[in-house]
Amino acid sequence: MRTLKRVKAVALREWRSSFNSPVAYVFVVMFLILNAFFTFFVSRFYEAGQADLRPFFAWHPWIYLIFVPAVAMRAWAEERRSGTIELLFTLGITPTEAVIGKFLAAWSIIGLALLLTAAIPATAAYLGSPDWGVVLTGYFGSYLMAGTYLALGMFCSALTRSQVVSFILATVAGLFVVLIGFDPVTGVLSRFLPSGIVEAVASVSILPHFDSTARGVLDVRDLVYFGSTVTFLLYATTQIVNQRG
């Protein structure tokens, strides 16, 4: 109970700090513009005239690659740079509470951004009658995937006192995690490596797990993948911020 209150206090503080500066708004708007741009101008969603949101969700793994590290980069790097980490960790908060609070705050900002993309399914409803079950599963999967990127971004932010370094680290790490499951890449890899290894490597990637949810399939294995990856990364973050010099 007390723990929950402290997690909430940390999350609210993060949320306030984010929205007291223009940065969070800029990121959210950027996210919406990227979504609209790729869905309408690159995938020609409107011209295709189909009430199928796959072209919309298909861009998410790539958009998150930029958007999520941007949201996550200041979480710990800025605490270190400004020295507030000393304040934070002498207030009687456990590192786990702080890590979870920060994660939830950033995740809810991403959730807000994701909600604001509702104009796109609305367009789909205008074009035809989309399968709302698939749309919801797609959103759910996208949100879980964002959480996974976010945990990675938080981890990278904890490694450094520079937001820029944190952003680059998280983007590169995210790119790696995406590419090892990206079909063109696995295609190339399977020419050199036995298929078992390629599959094993690809299963660590975020993409296959997201693809199934985007198709409307909720598989327990995907949930376990997202859940365990987030847990592991947040645990690792806790260990890093908990070093106490």
Site for another protein (CB under 8 A): how many residues?
A: 26
1 near another protein, rule: CB under 8 A:
no
C-beta of 23 vs 127, nearer to another protein = 23
Tell me the chain's radius of gyration from C-alpha atoms: 19
218 near another protein, rule: CB under 8 A:
no
C-beta of 51 vs 93, nearer to another protein = 93
106 near another protein, rule: CB under 8 A:
no
87 near another protein, rule: CB under 8 A:
yes
User: CA-to-CA distance for 182 and 186, rounded, in angstroms?
Assistant: 6
Retrieve residue 193's tokens: 């490596």
* Nearest of 14, 8, 53 to residue 35 by alpha carbon: 53
Q: Binding residue for another protein (CB under 8 A) from 12, 115, 188, 200? A: 12
Report the nearest approach of another protein to the CB of residue 2 (Å).
Answer: 7
> Which stretch, 47-55, 80-88, 113-121, 147-155, contacts another protein (CB under 8 A)?
80-88
User: CA-to-CA distance for 184 and 179, rounded, in angstroms?
Assistant: 9
C-beta of 66 vs 93, nearer to another protein = 93
For 131, the 3-state DSSP assignment is coil
The residues, any chain, with a CB within 8 Å of residue 178's CB and separated by 6 or more, are: 61, 62, 65, 205, 206, 207
User: CA-to-CA distance for 219 and 168, rounded, in angstroms?
Assistant: 32
239 near another protein, rule: CB under 8 A:
no
Report the nearest approach of another protein to the CB of residue 28 (Å).
Answer: 17
Report the nearest approach of another protein to the CB of residue 78 (Å).
Answer: 9
* Nearest of 31, 34, 54 to residue 213 by alpha carbon: 54
196 near another protein, rule: CB under 8 A:
no
> Which stretch, 11-19, 59-67, 158-166, 178-186, contacts another protein (CB under 8 A)?
11-19
194 near another protein, rule: CB under 8 A:
no
C-beta of 71 vs 145, nearer to another protein = 71
Alpha carbon distance, N-terminus to C-terminus of the chain? 29
19 to 58, contacts with another protein by CB under 8 A?
20-21
The phi and psi torsions of 96 (rounded to 5 degrees) equal: -60, -45
Instruction: Give 28's Cβ-side CA count (13 Å radius).
Output: 19
* Nearest of 129, 132, 147 to residue 223 by alpha carbon: 147
C-beta of 191 vs 244, nearer to another protein = 244
191 near another protein, rule: CB under 8 A:
no
The phi and psi torsions of 151 (rounded to 5 degrees) equal: -60, -40
Q: Site residues (CB under 8 A) for another protein?
A: 2, 5-6, 8-10, 12-13, 16-17, 20-21, 82-87, 89-94, 244-245
